């Protein structure tokens, strides 16, 4: 550890967007951090793949660019390792290596947390030197949701978490709804503005949101669930007509990660496009902004809104963890760190079904018979929202029913001769229809 007891030294793995933001903030607020913590926070080394690549941040005095992980791991002067390089394999190696050498770790790596948190926690439990592992920036960038989940619900019981936890898809859905853009147009704009990766699959497929939801479930319910067990659908099947139906119903569409604990104590979860009513606090969260609503016994409803990604929002959360370590704060534990709570790969909701068809007699009758066969009650049937639309479609809104029954209904409808393509479905988040 640092030979100067009044100095906290950092080694940063990754000199890109977030790593550069961390260096910038420390350069800018060094004197304030010294007053706040009583220590000088210094960046000693930044590890990058290509040392010759120009950087868009200024290295502080005494800081060097290195290319070997060992240059940080084996440096006894470094107190805190900051992992912001992404990926999982190398990231896990440096995180485990740093912790094993007595260095506390700060990371923004949601994929690593979702995949390897139990193993990392086991390693931490075996250490007796006060080494800490902090990951505030791993979920929703600039929103302090991790810290809130770890410390603000100690005497509470969380029954529901529902959140917009991917900025790229929320930007796209806003463009499709508000600006009437097609899916392809919205994706092109998101890519142009840097919200979407070159390969946007993790975002548009819902997988990024699923990783974040798994982390939140661990904190809220003390349970480890394999990501593949969480039902996950992205936004690729959405069309303009779905937003027209949503407008007819008095709402919009958001990609949400939802986890709910039933009265029986079972937890279910999913990631999916959802119909959200206009009076829901999540309906007005637009652009690349993230938001999470937490429903609990004592606080009733708490909503957290902020920037979910980007250089400074993510770097800010990393800085908060770094400053906490410099102050000597201990890591708050999940209020429910171990639990026998059962996870069920099923959930109940009202559902919206959009069906494209070839015109023939008896379509609605057949749909009604299939729904009755599987115990699904129909709340309403919606005709095509635009009489002159080239898309022949209608929609069914069900009563509250189990997801498993909806899958059976959709499979039977898809097999009918008049059904064109795969039927689209999404949960409906509207309290007055959930009875």
Structural domains in the chain, CATH included, are 7-134 (3.40.50.720), 155-306 (3.30.360.10), 348-433 (3.30.70.260)
In the chain, the percentage of residues whose pLDDT exceeds 90 is 79
Q: What is the pLDDT of residue 335?
A: 45
**Which residues does residue 82 pair with via DSSP β-bridges, in sequence order?**
12, 106
Using one digit for the tens of pLDDT, what is the confidence trace for 204-257?
999 999 999 999 999 999 888 999 999 999 999 999 999 999 999 999 999 999
The whole-angstrom distance between residue 210's C-alpha and the CA centroid of its chain comes to 6
How distant, in Å, are the alpha carbons of 59, 105, 277 from that of 131?
A: 27, 8, 45
> What pLDDT was estimated at residue 434?
56
Q: Given a cut of 70, is residue 388 above it in pLDDT? A: no
State how far the alpha carbon of 276 is from the alpha carbons of 254, 255, 267, in Å: 7, 10, 21
CA dist., res. 27 & res. 47, Å (int): 18
Whole-number Å distance between alpha carbons of 238 and 434 = 23
357 and 424 in contact (C-beta within 8 Å)? Answer: no
> Tokens 């119909």 — which residue?
275
Structure tokens at 279: 């009076």
354 has which bridge partners? Answer: 395, 424
**Residue 42 CB-half CA count within 13 A:** 20
What integer pLDDT is reported at residue 332 of this predicted model? 67
- The answer to whether 314 touches 139, Cβ cutoff 8 Å, is no
Contact (Cβ atoms closer than 8 angstroms) between residue 274 and residue 427: yes
CA pair distance 66, 69, nearest whole angstrom: 8
In this structure, are residues 79 and 2 in contact, taking their beta carbons and an 8 Å threshold?
A: yes
| pLDDT per position as a tens digit, 302-358 | 999 999 888 899 999 999 999 999 999 987 665 445 667 899 999 999 999 999 999
Give the mean model confidence (pLDDT) for residues 187-192: 93
Paired tokens of 32: 């304030």
Per-residue pLDDT tens over the stretch 250-284: 999 999 999 999 988 899 999 999 999 999 999 99
Q: Pairing state of beta strands 7-13 and 80-83?
A: parallel
pLDDT at 60 over 80: yes
Least confident of 40-49, 53-62, 332-341: 332-341
For the record, the structure tokens of 314 come out as: 């993510």
Among left, alpha and beta (phi > 0; psi -120 to 50; other), residue 328 is left
Please give the pLDDT value at position 195: 87
Q: What is the DSSP letter of 152?
A: S
Distance of alpha carbon 319 from alpha carbon 357, whole angstroms: 54
Exposed e or buried b for every residue in 405-423, given b needs 16+ CB within 10 A? bbebbbebbeeeebbeeeb
Residue 360: predicted pLDDT: 86
Catalytic residue from among 212, 214, 254, 261: 212
Of 1-5, 232-236, 392-396, highest mean pLDDT: 232-236
| Cα–Cα dist 227/218, whole Å | 12
Long-range CB pairs of 26-32, under 8 A, 24+ apart, other chains included: 26/60, 26/319, 27/57, 27/58, 27/60, 30/60
Mean pLDDT of the chain: 92
Would you say 137 and 108 are in contact if contact means Cβ atoms under 8 Å apart? yes
Q: Write the DSSP symbol of residue 427.
A: E
Question: How is residue 337 written in tokens?
Answer: 């760190």
Cα distance between residue 181 and residue 192, in whole Å: 15
Residues counted in the chain: 435
Closest CA to 175 of 152, 198, 192: 192
Q: How confident is the model at residue 387 (pLDDT cuts 50, 70, 90)?
A: low
Contact 249, 326 (CB under 8 A): no
**How does pLDDT run across 84-94, given as a tens digit for each residue?**
998 888 999 99
What pLDDT is recorded for position 432? 66
For residue 390, the model assigns a pLDDT of: 62
- Reduced to 3 states (helix: H, G, I; strand: E, B; else coil), residue 321 is helix
- In 100-148, beta strands by DSSP E: 104-107, 133-134
Residue 186 pLDDT greater than 60, yes or no: yes
**pTM, entire model:** 0.90
Pair 98, 334: CB distance under 8 Å: no
Residue 42 annotated to the active site: no
Q: In angstroms, rounded to a whole number, what is the distance separating the alpha carbons of residues 139 and 133? A: 15
Q: Is the pLDDT of residue 396 over 50?
A: yes
Percent of the chain with pLDDT over 70: 95
Closest of 296, 254, 295 to residue 276, by C-alpha:
254
pLDDT band at 173 (very low <50, low <70, confident <90, very high): very high
pLDDT over 70 at 46, yes or no: yes
Which of 9-23, 91-105, 378-392 shows the lowest per-residue confidence on average (mean pLDDT)? 378-392
Which of 151, 144, 166 shows the shortest CA–CA distance to 212? 166
Q: What pLDDT, on a 0 to 100 scale, did the predictor assign at position 128?
A: 76
């Amino acid at each position: 550890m640092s030979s100067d007891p009044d100095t906290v030294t950092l080694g940063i793995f990754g000199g890109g967007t977030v790593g550069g933001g961390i260096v910038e903030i420390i350069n800018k607020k060094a004197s304030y951090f010294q007053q706040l913590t009583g220590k000088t926070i210094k960046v000693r080394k930044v590890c990058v793949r290509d040392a010759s690549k120009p950087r868009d941040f200024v290295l502080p005095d005494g800081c060097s660019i290195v290319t070997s992980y060992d240059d940080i791991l084996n440096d006894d002067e470094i107190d805190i390792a900051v992992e912001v390089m992404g990926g999982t394999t190398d990231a896990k190696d440096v995180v485990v290596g740093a912790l094993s050498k007595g260095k506390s770790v700060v990371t923004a790596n949601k994929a690593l947390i979702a995949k390897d948190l139990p193993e990392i926690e086991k390693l931490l439990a075996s250490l007796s030197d006060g080494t800490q592992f902090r990951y505030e920036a791993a979920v929703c960038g600039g929103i302090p949701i991790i810290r809130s989940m770890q410390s603000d619900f100690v005497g509470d019981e969380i029954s529901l978490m529902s959140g917009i936890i991917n900025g790229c898809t929320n930007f796209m859905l806003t463009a499709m709804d508000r600006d009437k853009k097609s899916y392809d147009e919205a994706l092109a704009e998101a890519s142009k503005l840097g919200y979407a990766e070159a390969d946007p699959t993790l975002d548009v497929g819902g997988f990024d949101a699923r990783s974040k939801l798994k982390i939140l479930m661990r904190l809220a319910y003390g349970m480890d669930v394999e990501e593949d067990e969480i039902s996950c659908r992205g936004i690729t099947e959405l069309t303009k007509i779905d937003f027209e139906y949503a407008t007819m119903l008095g709402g919009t569409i958001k990609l949400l990660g939802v986890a709910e604990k039933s009265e029986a104590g079972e937890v279910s979860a999913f990631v999916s496009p959802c119909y959200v009513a206009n009076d829901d606090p999540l309906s007005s969260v637009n652009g690349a902004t993230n938001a999470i609503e937490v429903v609990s016994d004592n606080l009733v409803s708490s909503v957290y809104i902020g920037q979910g990604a980007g250089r400074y929002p993510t770097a800010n959360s990393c800085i908060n963890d770094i400053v906490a370590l410099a102050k000597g704060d201990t890591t708050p534990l999940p209020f429910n760190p171990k639990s026998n709570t059962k996870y069920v790969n099923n959930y109940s909701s009202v559902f919206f079904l959009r069906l494209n068809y070839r015109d023939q007699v008896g379509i609605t009758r057949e749909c009604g018979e299939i729904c009755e066969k599987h115990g699904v009650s129909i709340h309403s049937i919606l005709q095509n929202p635009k009489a002159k639309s080239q898309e022949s479609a209608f929609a069914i809104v069900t009563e509250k029913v189990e997801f498993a029954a909806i899958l059976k209904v959709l499979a039977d409808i898809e097999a009918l001769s008049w059904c064109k393509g795969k039927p689209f479905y999404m949960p409906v988040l509207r309290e007055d229809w959930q009875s």
